[in-house]
């Protein structure tokens, strides 16, 4: 374990084996940092935070600060970060709220780039990448393998589906279905979805027949210009119901905010 003499570590904090804490960093009460993690200089892990093994927290990052919610009354809420997560400079990850789920979570093998904001009660899955200055409002759910482009903003209670990619400078106010490419709020564009995230699906190990079946489902659901319920029924009747197609259909049917099209 290596702790710089200028770092401030609360007596209540728990540091694993091989943890490194850089100059002028602060680790507050009720913080657990897993084995092999590296905390850069001037980082603040304020309180009520659990970080898994091999974390990389860069300079001036802020983790575990109170949520930006006027209803918050200093209840005991948490941030939980998984294993092998990179949090870059000036990123902020706030604690949950008592009126939400009480925990803001980031899964394993994620990369949270510079100036990203993860607000209270967000649930970020595994292998998620958020590019510079992407912003999540409260209660956002991001499924495994999604990519959020730089300078994008995601409205509260929105869901981003698995292996979806959101283009930079998007404003996302409805759910983004799994497996798709989405670019929202770009001037002069009358649609938000631009086909499947084929490269991402291939990198995730999805087979060519599975991708072809998803393409057929995509065309029916998003390009047939019929009401969504009819499109989903048609997809179920005409397309092989492999797990990926079922996931796509069930995600849309469970949406409370509606999905981008």
Looking at residue 109, which CATH number applies to its domain? 2.160.10.10
Total tally of structural domains belonging to the chain? 2
Residue 9 · residue 30 · CB < 8 Å: no
Tell me the pTM.
0.97
pLDDT, residue 185, reads 73
Does any domain span residue 83? yes
Sheet containing 123-124: which strands, arranged edge to edge? Answer: 14-15, 31-33, 49-51, 78-81, 103-106, 123-124, 141-142, 159-160
Considering the domain architecture, whether residues 106 and 215 belong to the same structural domain is answered as no
Q: Report the distance separating Cα 95 and Cα 115, nearest Å.
A: 17
Q: For each of the chain's 261 residues, which pLDDT tens digit applies?
A: 999 999 999 999 999 999 999 999 999 999 999 999 999 999 999 999 999 999 999 999 999 999 999 999 999 999 999 999 999 999 999 999 999 999 999 999 999 999 999 999 999 999 999 999 999 999 999 999 999 999 999 999 999 999 999 999 999 999 999 999 999 876 556 789 999 999 999 999 999 999 999 999 999 999 998 999 999 999 999 999 999 999 999 999 999 999 999
Give the residue numbers spanning the domain of 241: 198-253
Element (H, E) at 166: strand 165-166
Q: Which of 139, 168, 185 is the last residue of a domain?
A: 139
DSSP label at residue 229: H
In a domain, 70, yes or no: yes
Say if residue 123 is in the same domain as residue 221.
Answer: no
Which residues are part of the catalytic machinery? 120-121, 138
Neighbour-count burial for 170-209, b at 16+ CB within 10 Å, e otherwise:
bebbbbbbbbbbbbbeeeeeeebbeebbeebbeeeebeee
Inside any domain, residue 178 = no
Give a three-class secondary structure readout of 59-72: CCCEEEECCCCCCC
Predicted local distance difference test score (pLDDT) of residue 190: 72
């Amino acid at each position: 374990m290596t702790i710089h003499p200028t770092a401030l570590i609360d007596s209540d904090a728990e540091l694993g084996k091989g943890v490194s804490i850089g100059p002028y960093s602060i680790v507050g009460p009720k913080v657990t940092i897993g084995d092999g993690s590296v905390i850069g200089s001037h980082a603040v892990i304020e309180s009520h935070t659990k970080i898994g093994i091999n974390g990389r927290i860069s300079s001036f990052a802020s983790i575990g600060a109170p949520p930006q919610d006027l209803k918050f009354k200093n209840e005991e809420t948490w941030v939980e970060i998984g294993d092998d997560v990179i949090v870059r400079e000036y990123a902020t990850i706030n604690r949950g709220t008592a009126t939400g789920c009480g925990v803001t979570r980031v899964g394993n093998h994620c990369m949270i780039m510079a100036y990203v904001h993860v607000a209270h009660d967000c649930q970020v899955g595994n292998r998620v990448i958020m590019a510079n200055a992407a912003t999540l409002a409260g209660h956002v759910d991001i499924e495994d393998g999604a990519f959020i482009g730089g300078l994008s903003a995601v409205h509260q209670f929105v869901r981003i589906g698995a292996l979806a990619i959101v283009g930079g400078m998007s404003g996302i106010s409805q759910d983004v279905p799994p497996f798709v490419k989405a670019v929202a709020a770009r001037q002069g564009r009358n649609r938000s979805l631009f086909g499947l995230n084929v490269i991402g699906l291939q990198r995730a190990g999805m087979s060519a027949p599975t991708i072809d079946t998803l393409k057929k489902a995509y065309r029916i659901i998003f390009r047939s210009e019929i009401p969504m319920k009819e499109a989903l029924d048609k997809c179920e009747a005409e397309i092989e119901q492999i797990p990926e197609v079922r996931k796509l259909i069930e995600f849309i049917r469970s949406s409370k905010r509606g999905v981008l099209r």
